[in-house]
């Protein structure tokens, strides 16, 4: 029995538990691979599940591992549906293959890319990753294009897209750089940005290349 | 690094810095010589030169034109780099706006690459203090590795400290750009310091800067290496740069620029503290009103109204009435007439005749053009001093984009109303060739201040609306031309990005003095031309050549433009100086030879026809003889076409007004 099969089995136990089903039969029905009593025994021995009579329950250790695999599976589904525009009935097989791709950083990246989705395309909850918790804390601090600020608001430059070498160099020579705080003074007919103590007028088309951390009025205390 | 500046007596000291930081005020303060201050973004091209005493020795002081940076491919950067490399400066003084420390630091870091001993002068220190800004000068000096002083040049403060600091000038701190780039720089430096061509100390200091620019694929740097070191070295150096570039996933130019920005930001954050000002200063609110369409448009109209009242009414009617009517008409000309009574007829005519030196040349130059010009210079200087013109560019950005320029275009166009030559010079603020060509062509057909003065005086007898129609017509023609040029001249539309200087209360005396100086300069330059042009026309008339010229010009002037033959003289004179032609035109109109419509046609033709000699020379210098002759030919055909079109439309409409 390889890691791949253990993952599949744990995933099946998790999805059953989610629906309030704990019987071995139900798990057998949900599992993508043929399930034998020996496999359950082995997981029990490894301390991932606890078998009690007909019931199959996840231990703390098993739950941890199952959460990760379920999260990956459901994120894969979202990725396939949202980004690759695949129909719902065709995503199961590739999602099952994707989920075994290792690396938390990769999955947090995908999760961020997708905007930390809460549910899979089928409506089941996607378990949260660390990236989701961090994003929630800094939700009000998100990076937005400068055009998203209204007149009078200020923000800190997060990054500037390279819209041609000349343009970026020009912006840098005017003092625009990541970390600099700018204030939008007006938006039409051209942007006027307050910058330290100087003012700079620019075309709206240049603004599209500047991204900022939106400034929050109140920091949300961590842990809430 | 070179030896202590006071130790040698060789090179000059160069003042460098962004536009509008008070460089020229500081220059005047140090050299006790007046330069042309208050110039706009890069429009002040002449580098002021003077002397001042440093450690008992006289040292040359150079006032470099304001720049927005030093690394870039547009011309403004080139001028500064050229000064740094060719003048072999003893030291540079980086003049920075104390309120705008971050940008100043960025420039300091860029200048550091040239290795020239330097001092940082934070100017306008009073304004920055008023805004609650405190800068830790000793800390800044140690972070930059060069002396830092505070000055308030406008009030004459800080010069002594600056002179003292110059003794300890040392090159601004150099950044380290990481192993790959540093290695490439070493290789390129080694290539460039080949023994057969010994380097000047400044060149040796600037090798790093040249290497960095080669890495950024800067065409200017490549051209310089080619010129100084030859093709072979350039190829080797370019190959080394290319090899390094391959190691980066993105352009090293950006990485370098970002590192500089980051370093500037770090120093900035370490030395500047701001205690929040009590309230938004009035200047901020004024600035906002000027920039927002809802309030900005009424303000712009108000400014226009002020210009009209002050220049069009006070200057062109009241003062001209006094100057031309009273002073010349009633006092000087009759006096000269009495004086010349006993002279031979020829001399009498030359002095006070139809083309007399006093009755025409002096009367027109001093009585008519000068008063209007002085009021115009004053009001224009006022707008510049306040910092209004860049704000106007915000409101006009869209319109100017339809003619292939952007908001910045307002600067050459406004300057064109002042002096076409200055306006042509100012086209170097544009980054793209396309904008330069369009702006130069548009500016060549601007009525410059002296011509404007004559135009205003001519229109003073007509109702106000005719004057507005005239300007509307010029604007309309300009927009049409611009739209056509936008299509015709190849190249992409350039970005609009521009710094807005502070709104400040104008120093009236300063503006007045400047207007006075400009007017005097005009007289010095134009008066001889006026006299020569008038005398030439007088001689031509006497020799009968004028008739010949009239006959030659007749097909165009009479048939096509519907003007009397005498208009030919107007055009001849305007080829020498435009306003002298306009002034002659006034005489023709006064004597009833020309109707109002004919006057408008003549003025239009003159406005567009030939630029004055100065601007012509400049166009040739900036664009090359070939391009310049094409431009001039285009504008002559164009002038005749516009004049003819207006004439025929006027005829078709049945000859109203």
User: How does strand B148-150 pair with strand B117-123?
Assistant: parallel
ipTM summary value: 0.73
Instruction: Among B72, B250, B393, select the one facing A173 at the smallest CB separation.
Output: B72
Query: How close is the nearest chain B Cα to the Cα of A201, in Å?
Result: 5
For B213, other C-beta atoms within 10 Å of its C-beta total 26
Alpha helices, H only, B544-611 = 545-554, 567-576, 578-590, 596-608
Mutate to test the interface with B, among A184, A198, A204, A206 (most CBs of B within 10 A): A198
- Asked whether the beta carbons of residue B73 and residue A166 sit closer than 8 angstroms, the reply is yes
- Asked whether the beta carbons of residue A172 and residue B262 sit closer than 8 angstroms, the reply is no
Give the percent of chain B with pLDDT over 90. Answer: 7
CATH number for the domain including A111? 1.10.10.10
For B280, other C-beta atoms within 10 Å of its C-beta total 9
Please give the Cα distance from B47 to B67 (Å, whole number).
12
pLDDT beyond 60 at B55: yes
pLDDT beyond 80 at B506: yes
Give the model's pLDDT for residue B299: 94
Give the model's pLDDT for residue B200: 75
Query: How close is the nearest chain A Cα to the Cα of B103, in Å?
Result: 5
Mean pLDDT of B499-528: 85
Mutate to test the interface with A, among B111, B405, B434, B495 (most CBs of A within 10 A): B495
Of B378, B379, B389, B381, give the one whose Cα is nearest residue B413.
B389
A71 and A47 co-located in one domain: no
A11 and A48 co-located in one domain: yes
Unique residue bearing structure tokens 């904008």: B435
Instruction: Among B106, B293, B407, select the one facing A201 at the smallest CB separation.
Output: B407
Give the percent of chain B with pLDDT over 70. Answer: 91
Helix (H) / strand (E) element for B57: namely strand B57-63
A24 and A47 co-located in one domain: yes
Please give the Cα distance from A25 to A14 (Å, whole number).
14
Please give the Cα distance from B106 to A171 (Å, whole number).
12
- Asked whether the beta carbons of residue B291 and residue A185 sit closer than 8 angstroms, the reply is yes
Instruction: Among A168, A171, A190, select the one facing B394 at the smallest CB separation.
Output: A190
Contacts of A206 in chain B (CB under 8 A): 495-497
Query: Do residues B359 and B330 lie in contact, with contact meaning Cβ atoms separated by under 8 Å?
Result: no
Q: How confident is the model at residue B69 (pLDDT cuts 50, 70, 90)?
A: low
CATH class for the domain made up of B5-171: alpha beta
Mutate to test the interface with A, among B497, B499, B501, B504 (most CBs of A within 10 A): B497
pLDDT beyond 60 at B418: yes
User: How does strand B272-274 pair with strand B170-171?
Assistant: unpaired
| Domain stop point among A137, A154, A188 | A137
- Asked whether the beta carbons of residue B499 and residue A200 sit closer than 8 angstroms, the reply is yes
| Domain stop point among A32, A58, A84 | A58
A145 and A207 co-located in one domain: yes
A224 falls within a domain: no
Contacts of B291 in chain A (CB under 8 A): 185-186, 192, 201
Of B410, B428, B422, give the one whose Cα is nearest residue B67.
B428
pLDDT one-digit tens code per residue, B346-356: 888 888 887 78
Give the model's pLDDT for residue B41: 39
Please give the Cα distance from B657 to B650 (Å, whole number).
9
A76 and A128 co-located in one domain: yes
Q: What are the two backbone dihedrals, phi and then psi, of residue A32, each rounded to the nearest 5 degrees?
A: -80, -15
Contacts of B103 in chain A (CB under 8 A): 173-175, 198
Query: How close is the nearest chain B Cα to the Cα of A95, in Å?
Result: 32
For residue B498, list its beta bridge partners.
A201
A145 and A131 co-located in one domain: no
Give the model's pLDDT for residue B204: 79
For residue B170, list its beta bridge partners.
B118
Going from the C-alpha of A98 to that of each of A123, A125, B578, the distances in angstroms are: 19, 18, 79
Going from the C-alpha of B523 to that of each of A153, B34, B369, B527, the distances in angstroms are: 52, 19, 10, 5
* Residue scoring higher pLDDT (B22 or B295): B295
Mutate to test the interface with B, among A199, A205, A206, A208 (most CBs of B within 10 A): A199
Q: Residue B174: helix, strand or coil by DSSP?
A: coil
pLDDT one-digit tens code per residue, B205-234: 788 888 888 888 777 788 888 888 888 888
Domain carrying residue A160 = 141-214
A84 and A132 co-located in one domain: yes
Instruction: Among A171, A173, A201, select the one facing B500 at the smallest CB separation.
Output: A201
Please give the Cα distance from B566 to B544 (Å, whole number).
13
Query: Do residues B486 and B438 lie in contact, with contact meaning Cβ atoms separated by under 8 Å?
Result: yes
Query: How close is the nearest chain A Cα to the Cα of B381, in Å?
Result: 22
Alpha carbons within 13 A on the beta-carbon side of B655: 3
pLDDT one-digit tens code per residue, B113-164: 888 899 999 988 888 887 788 899 999 999 999 999 998 887 888 888 888 8
A119 and A80 co-located in one domain: yes
Among chain A residues, the shortest Cα distance to B252 is held by A165
Six-digit token pair at B114? 């040239």
Contacts of A189 in chain B (CB under 8 A): 293, 394-395, 397-398
Give the domain ranges of chain B: 5-171, 179-274, 293-652
| Domain stop point among A58, A79, A98 | A58
Chains A, B: CB contacts within 8 A come to: 121
CATH topology of domain B179-274: Helix Hairpins (1.10.287)
A1 Cβ partners below 8 Å, 6+ apart?
A39, A42
Six-digit token pair at B471? 């300007």
- Asked whether the beta carbons of residue B395 and residue A189 sit closer than 8 angstroms, the reply is yes
Sign of the torsion formed by the C-alpha atoms of B621, B627, B631 and B636: positive
Write the secondary structure of B129-172 as one string of H (helix), E (strand) and C (coil).
HHCCEEECHHHHHHHHCCCEEECEHHHCECHHHHHHHHCCCEEC
For B652, other C-beta atoms within 10 Å of its C-beta total 8
Please give the Cα distance from B157 to B159 (Å, whole number).
6
A219 falls within a domain: no
A221 falls within a domain: no
For chain A, how many structural domains are there in total? Answer: 3
Mutate to test the interface with A, among B106, B261, B283, B293 (most CBs of A within 10 A): B261
pLDDT beyond 80 at A5: yes
A17 falls within a domain: yes
A223 falls within a domain: no
A118 and A181 co-located in one domain: no
Environment class of B624 (CB within 10 Å of its CB; exposed 0-12, middle 13-18, buried 19+)? exposed
Give the percent of chain A with pLDDT over 70. Answer: 89
Q: How confident is the model at residue A223 (pLDDT cuts 50, 70, 90)?
A: very low
- Asked whether the beta carbons of residue B257 and residue A169 sit closer than 8 angstroms, the reply is yes
């Amino acid at each position: 029995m390889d890691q791949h099969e253990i993952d599949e089995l744990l995933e099946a136990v998790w999805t059953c538990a989610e629906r309030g089903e704990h019987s071995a039969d139900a798990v057998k029905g949900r599992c993508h691979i043929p399930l034998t009593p020996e496999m359950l025994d082995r997981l029990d021995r490894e301390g991932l599940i606890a078998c009690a009579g007909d019931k199959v329950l996840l231990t703390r250790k098993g739950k941890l591992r199952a959460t990760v695999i379920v999260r990956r599976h459901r994120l894969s589904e979202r990725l396939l549906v949202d980004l690759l525009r695949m129909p719902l009935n065709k995503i199961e097989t590739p999602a099952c293959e994707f989920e075994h791709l290792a690396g938390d950083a990769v999955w947090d990246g995908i999760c961020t890319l997708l905007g930390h989705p809460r549910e899979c395309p089928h409506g089941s909850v996607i378990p949260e990753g660390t990236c989701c918790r961090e994003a929630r804390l800094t939700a009000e601090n998100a990076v937005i294009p400068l055009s998203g600020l209204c007149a009078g608001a200020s923000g800190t430059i997060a990054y500037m897209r390279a819209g041609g070498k000349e343009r970026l160099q020009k912006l840098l020579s005017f003092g625009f750089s990541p970390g600099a705080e700018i204030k939008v003074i007006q938006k039409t007919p051209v942007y006027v940005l307050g910058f330290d103590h100087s003012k700079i007028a620019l075309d709206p088309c240049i603004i599209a290349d500047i991204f900022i951390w939106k400034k929050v009025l109140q920091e949300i205390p961590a842990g809430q | 690094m070179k030896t202590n500046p006071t130790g040698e007596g060789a090179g000059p000291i160069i003042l460098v810095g962004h536009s509008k930081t008070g460089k020229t005020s500081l220059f005047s303060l140090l050299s006790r010589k007046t330069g042309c201050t208050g110039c706009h973004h890069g429009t002040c091209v002449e580098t002021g030169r003077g002397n001042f005493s440093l450690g008992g020795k006289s040292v040359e002081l150079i006032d470099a034109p304001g720049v927005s940076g030093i690394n870039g491919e547009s011309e403004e950067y080139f001028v500064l780099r050229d000064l740094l490399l060719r003048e072999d400066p003893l030291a540079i003084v980086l003049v920075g706006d104390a309120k705008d420390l971050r940008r100043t630091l960025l420039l300091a870091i860029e200048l550091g690459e040239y290795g020239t001993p330097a001092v940082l002068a934070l100017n306008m220190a009073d304004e920055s203090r008023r805004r609650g800004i405190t800068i830790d000068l000793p800390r800044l000096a140690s972070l930059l590795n060069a002396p830092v002083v505070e000055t308030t040049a406008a009030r004459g403060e800080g010069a002594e400290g600056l002179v003292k600091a110059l003794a300890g000038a040392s090159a601004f701190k150099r950044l380290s750009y990481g192993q790959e780039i540093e290695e490439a720089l070493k290789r390129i430096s080694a290539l460039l310091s080949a023994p057969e061509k010994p380097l000047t100390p400044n060149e040796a200091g600037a090798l790093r800067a040249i290497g960095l620019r080669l890495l950024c694929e800067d065409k200017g740097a490549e051209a310089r290496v080619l010129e100084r070191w030859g093709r072979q070295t350039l190829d080797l150096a370019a190959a080394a740069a290319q090899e390094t570039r391959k190691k980066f996933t993105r352009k090293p130019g950006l990485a370098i620029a970002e590192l500089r920005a980051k370093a500037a930001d770090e120093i900035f954050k370490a030395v500047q503290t701001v205690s929040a000002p009590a309230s938004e200063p009035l200047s901020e609110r004024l600035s906002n009103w000027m920039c927002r369409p809802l309030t900005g448009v009424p303000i712009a109209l108000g400014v226009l109204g002020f210009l009209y009242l002050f220049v069009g009414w006070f200057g062109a009617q009241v003062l001209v009435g006094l100057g031309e009517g009273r002073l010349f008409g009633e006092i000087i000309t009759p006096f000269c007439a009495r004086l010349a009574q006993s002279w031979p007829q020829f001399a009498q005519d030359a002095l006070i005749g139809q083309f007399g030196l006093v009755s025409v040349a002096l009367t027109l130059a001093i009585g008519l053009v000068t008063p209007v010009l002085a009021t115009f210079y004053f009001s224009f200087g006022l707008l510049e001093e306040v910092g209004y013109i860049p704000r106007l560019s915000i409101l006009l950005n869209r319109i100017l984009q339809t003619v292939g320029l952007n908001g910045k275009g307002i600067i050459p166009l406004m300057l064109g109303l002042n002096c076409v030559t200055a306006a042509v010079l100012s086209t170097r603020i544009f980054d793209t060739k396309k904008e330069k060509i369009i702006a130069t062509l548009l500016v060549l057909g601007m009525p410059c201040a002296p011509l404007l003065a004559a135009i205003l005086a001519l229109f003073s007898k007509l109702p106000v609306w005719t004057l507005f129609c005239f300007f509307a017509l010029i604007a309309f023609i300009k927009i049409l031309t611009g739209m056509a040029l936008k299509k015709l001249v190849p190249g992409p539309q350039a970005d609009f990005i521009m710094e807005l200087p502070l709104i400040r209360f104008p120093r009236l005396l300063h503006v007045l003095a400047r207007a006075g100086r400009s007017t005097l300069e005009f007289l010095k330059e134009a008066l001889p031309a006026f006299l020569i042009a008038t005398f030439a026309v007088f001689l031509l008339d006497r020799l009968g050549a004028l008739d010949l010229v009239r006959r030659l010009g007749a097909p165009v002037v009479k048939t096509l433009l519907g003007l009397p033959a005498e208009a030919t003289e107007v055009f001849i004179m305007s080829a020498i100086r435009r306003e002298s032609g306009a002034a002659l035109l006034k005489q023709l109109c006064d004597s009833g030879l020309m109707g109002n419509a004919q006057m408008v046609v003549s003025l239009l033709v003159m406005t567009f026809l030939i630029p004055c000699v100065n601007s012509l020379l400049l166009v040739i210098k900036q664009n090359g003889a070939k391009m310049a002759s094409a431009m001039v030919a285009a504008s002559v055909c164009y002038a005749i076409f516009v004049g003819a079109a207006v004439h025929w439309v006027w005829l078709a409409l049945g000859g109203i007004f």
